[in-house]
Structure 1
Amino acid sequence: MLSRQTLREEPERIREALEKKGVDDVDFDEVLEVYDEWRDLKAEGDELRHERNEVSRSIGQLKQEGKEEEAQAAIDRSGELKTRLQAVEERADELAAELETAMMRLPMIPQEDVPVGADEDENVERRREGFEDLRDLPDDVTPHYDLGEELDILDFERGAKVSGGYYFAKGEGARLEHALIQFFLDVHREQGYRDIFPPLPVNSKSMEGTGQFPKFTEDAYRIEGEHHEEYDDDDLWLLPTAEVPVTNMHRGDILLDDDLPLKYQAYSPNFRQEAGEHGTETRGIVRVHQFNKVELVNFVRPDESDDRLDGLVDEAEEVLRRLDLPYRILEMCTGDLGFTQAKKYDIEVWAPGDEMADGPEVGGRWLEVSSVSNFEDFQARRAGIQYRPERHESAEYLHTLNGSGVAVPRVLVAILEYYQNEDGTVDVPEALQPYMGGQEVVEGHEPVGESALGAGDRE
């Protein structure tokens, strides 16, 4: 969250950030009114305490001097001050809680060099990689959702039967998912990342710490049980991203300068209800409510976060380089930046199986596989994560960054479509073959059960 100092000293910068990010559900004038009243009451409280202390000290002196009437007047005044101070403090506490709630809905201020734009159409493509030497593709690339069923490595019908809208990865499809996860973890371990295997349930306080709450409760899966109508700190949710538990590992901690930078990686399944909003992406495994992902989380000194953002982009895209998958890097404009980010890049892999209006000149479409973000001190303030530059110095808020390293299903989509052969088989990328027991080609499986037979065969 933003600091009260920023609210006091740079209100117009915050107002500009609200406009640039398209945040229209916050009455900023009302926030300022609450802050001004709270600040005035704090000042009045300080004055009342000072006067009460002065009056209290004078009472004994007046009594010693035999000035009983003046002493009684001082006692009466002390009582008045105490009553007024109590009322001021109670109101100040109410306003402080109201201000805290309001400030939880104020977005992070974009960095000065972030492109200004209204929405994703105004994001800026920074570069493309891997298009210089594309492999030969079939004349008609079969979309992954059709190919997956033809090879019997993806099963959407049975997924819907048992869970109402998910999918089964089967046989070589399941092996590909497992192989990708282990491959990603190994690559990032080479880059100095420490492995974390996080819990899947996270509490509301953790969701607040990374900025998912209170703004995005409708996207989260709540674990049913005893809970209030409004979410409570003790409520549990299925994690939407491993960013939540891994960042909140250090909630309330004071780290030492020698601890930084901290680089964690975590594999987890992730659960989000926002999936399925974008038309054609509802087919297949591009937009699903449960998906596997390796998350990269960094804790760094404030003066190092900009350089670390560039390094994090490079670390995330390394897996695509090794898989020889074509991709591009986009810089998010202010309107598509997101609530918590000061600056963000998206990494989008190219999948040639579906024609999309925003695809490259050679056809196909772009699939976001990673968002790499610098939150500066926004999450650290919400979660109370600090570091001490020197052991004798005051603690300061550090900076947090994160990026997917990367989302598994969409990389699987890209592999099934980009490495597809004319006969409907799929070559296994060379970097992935050791994780597939040396297997070089996915040939698929024969379906099982009567549903796999033609009508004549069943008779």
Structure 2
Amino acid sequence: MHDIRAIRDNPDAFDRDLARRGLAPLSAELIALDEARKSSVSAAQANQERRNALAKEIGGAKKAKDEARAAALMAEVAALKAAEPALKAAEGEADRAFAEKLAAIPNRPKPDVPDGADEHGNVLYRSHASTRERLTEGKEHFELGEACGLMDFESAAKLSGSRFVVLKGQLARLERALGQFMLDLHTQEHGYLEVAPPVLVRDEAMFGTAQLPKFEDDQFAIVDGSSLRKVYDAFASMRAAGNGRSGAEFISDDVRDWMDQSRRWLIPTAEVPLTNLVRESILREEELPLRFTALTPCFRAEAGAAGRDTRGMLRQHQFNKVEMVSITTPEESANEHERMLTCAEAVLKKLDLPYRVMTLCTGDMGFASQKTYDIEVWVPGQRTHREISSCSVCGEFQARRMNARYRGKDGKPAYVHTLNGSGVAVGRALIAVMENYQNPDGSITIPSVLHPYMGGLNRIEGAR
């Protein structure tokens, strides 16, 4: 969320930043909407103030036994009272229009973010080679997994449809080992606090981290059975009536309210619950930075990814990921961003995987991000690099949406800065290990750092 005062103070700078994101100027429209909002508030307040003043005048007129004046004043009060619902409705509508417009605008990029329209504008930040000889080609992970009978997409499709997988045996254990290894690394060496958060969250939490409202189509929402039954009953009434009215007209306000209250969202990333741990709070500066990490399942509808990466585990509706979140002061957020990136890189270094770090351009950054680094691991089966971690600094953008603040040395509350990063995506780490550690016979060597998590097993045998 943006600060309307900052937009008013320097509208040209705001529009220039939006232009870097490929957006048309919006400052004039936002300022006009804010003026309309203020006017509607003033009109409602003036109505109430006039009514309060008239109440005193009516008392004076009655005390003076001036019945005619008292009656005239009471008539004016009645007119003002009758106008109140319309004024309140106008105030609510103006506030809604302003809030919706502001909430739909992405974060402003930092000055050092490269300009560009898409991923082709991203800039190499640094790269890292593995100590082993880098494979330049090989089988893809699903070929290896299916050949050894431990990666089953067919059964997953019977259970849940496309973009799911069933892992078995040693591959299932390898995925579990990767997640546990990452959690241990971040908690024991990097100072993150492990959290086991809910994976179902309310609208407010999704709004706070900016998944809502813009990216609603990419999320999975659920409602409880009783709410769903009310919807079914409403549509059954529609069919029974047979009068051509739409189903929406048959869903009462009570049903809508029930659905809104019971609806939860499956988290697309643990960034959502971890960042929202500080929502609607005022922290002490000495508490900062707060660093959280969690290993959770993540759920994404991938509505905008039709036809992309349909084979294998690269783009799934459900996957596991270790997430890192930092809450810090504005002065330290840039340093914290570099630190978070280093923590994510440490995972790949210990796994001895080749990777590169890209600074994302303005056209490829996430909605809430001021600046993002993507870590892209080498996958020889595709002969390319694929994203395995994304580390972003969001400034106060999310904090404003969550009303998350801290009290500085001057005693005044200010918005915290939030950061998030994958530490890393477990499924993609599994892919990278399988493809980079594959052997000519189809077996997969297990990285030495994972041996303790695999009960000493150092190799997954291929098909015989």
| TM-score for both structures, normalised by structure 2 | 0.83
The equivalent residue for 2:10 is: 10
The equivalent residue for 2:151 is: 154
Which of 311, 328, 336 is 1:308 aligned to?
A: 336
Question: Cα 1:130–1:275, aligned 2, differ >3 Å: closer, same or farther?
Answer: farther
The equivalent residue for 1:20 is: 20
The equivalent residue for 1:145 is: 142
Which of 385, 397, 408 is 1:378 aligned to?
A: 397
| TM-score for both structures, normalised by structure 1 | 0.84
The Cα shift of 1:430 comes to 1.2
The equivalent residue for 1:416 is: 434
The equivalent residue for 1:449 is: none
Output the CA distance in 1 between the equivalents of 2:93 and 2:6.
21
AA partner of residue 380 (structure 1): A
Q: Deviations over 1:37-59 (max 9, x none)?
A: 12334456677777888888899
**Unmatched segments (≥5 aa) in structure 2:** 229-254
The equivalent residue for 1:360 is: none
The equivalent residue for 1:359 is: none
Q: Deviations over 1:274-304 (max 9, x none)?
A: 1793756221111111111000011111211
Task: Determine helix, strand or coil for the equivalent of 2:278.
Answer: coil
CA RMSD of aligned residues (A): 3.2
Question: Cα 1:342–1:85, aligned 2, differ >3 Å: closer, same or farther?
Answer: farther
The equivalent residue for 1:35 is: 34
Q: Is 2:217–2:303's contact at 8 Å kept on the other side of the alignment?
A: no
Task: Determine helix, strand or coil for the equivalent of 1:333.
Answer: coil
Output the CA distance in 1 between the equivalents of 2:80 and 2:5.
29
Output the CA distance in 1 between the equivalents of 2:273 and 2:366.
20
Question: Cα 1:387–1:74, aligned 2, differ >3 Å: closer, same or farther?
Answer: farther
The equivalent residue for 2:417 is: 399
Q: Deviations over 1:319-372 (max 9, x none)?
A: 001111000111111111121111111011111112xxxxxxxxx111111110
Task: Determine helix, strand or coil for the equivalent of 2:260.
Answer: coil
2:363 is the alignment partner of 1:335: yes
The equivalent residue for 1:205 is: 204
The 5 A counterparts of 1:53-452 are 79=77, 86=84, 90-130=89-129, 133-135=131-133, 137=135, 141-165=138-162, 166-189=164-187, 190-225=189-224, 226=227, 232=260, 234-274=262-302, 277=305, 281-354=309-382, 364-390=383-409, 393-444=411-462
The Cα shift of 1:91 comes to 2.6
Q: Is 1:204–1:234's contact at 8 Å kept on the other side of the alignment?
A: no
Question: Cα 1:197–1:23, aligned 2, differ >3 Å: closer, same or farther?
Answer: farther
Output the CA distance in 1 between the equivalents of 2:49 and 2:123.
56
AA partner of residue 373 (structure 1): S
The Cα shift of 1:201 comes to 1.2
Count of residue pairs the alignment pairs up: 432
Task: Determine helix, strand or coil for the equivalent of 2:138.
Answer: coil
**Unmatched segments (≥5 aa) in structure 1:** 355-363, 447-459
Q: Is 2:442–2:463's contact at 8 Å kept on the other side of the alignment?
A: no
The equivalent residue for 2:233 is: none
Question: Cα 1:85–1:18, aligned 2, differ >3 Å: closer, same or farther?
Answer: farther
- Aligned-pair identity in percent equals 40
More displaced, 170-179 or 45-54? 45-54
Task: Determine helix, strand or coil for the equivalent of 2:309.
Answer: helix
Task: Determine helix, strand or coil for the equivalent of 1:255.
Answer: strand
Output the CA distance in 2 between the equivalents of 1:399 and 1:382.
12
Question: Cα 1:445–1:437, aligned 2, differ >3 Å: closer, same or farther?
Answer: farther
Output the CA distance in 2 between the equivalents of 1:248 and 1:136.
41
